[in-house]
Amino acid sequence: MRLQPSVFVGILVISALALTACSSSAASTSSRSTVPTTSEVLYEVVGGQKGASITMETPTGTSQQDVSIPLKKKSAGASDTGLTFTFDPGDFVYISAQGRGGSNYVICRISVNGKVISQNTATGYDIATCKGEA
């Protein structure tokens, strides 16, 4: 049985359209990413002392300061514990805290997108250090 040229061309066109539909469907599926484009990083410092000296990595560089603990947002009336920053996924995140004023303890904690990735405790004048990736 021999196909007419017009039937043969029709089969080729339908096959090409089917392949194009499949490849564009696969391409659009693979372009949808489930990896977040940013990571929300929460730094917390709590403890049995009134203050601490902290060093932390922020999206714009390293920051050092003396703070009251528990560490709170700096905006007026803020009651949330911790400082939140937005980093790119995979960025280095770090906070260390050294208690000021005695033999009590200080705890640092880093959470990324709501999950604790690092926590440490120090007593007296020792330094609690937390680090990881956003």
Judgement on whether residues 78 and 108 belong to the same structural domain of the protein: yes
Token look-up 């392949």 returns 19
Instruction: Based on the fold, state whether residues 27 and 84 are members of the same structural domain.
Output: no
Are residue 24 and residue 76 in the same domain, yes or no? no
- The number of folded domains in the chain is 2
User: What is the spatial distance between Cα 24 and Cα 87, in angstroms, rounded to a whole number?
Assistant: 33
41-88 pLDDT, tens digit per residue, is 999 999 988 889 999 999 999 999 999 999 887 654 556 789 999 999
Indicate if 81 and 116 belong to the same structural domain.
yes
Domain of 19 in residue numbering reads as 1-32
- At 39, the pLDDT band (50, 70, 90 cuts) reads very high
Does the predicted model carry a pTM greater than 0.85?
Answer: no
CB 43 within 8 A of CB 110: yes
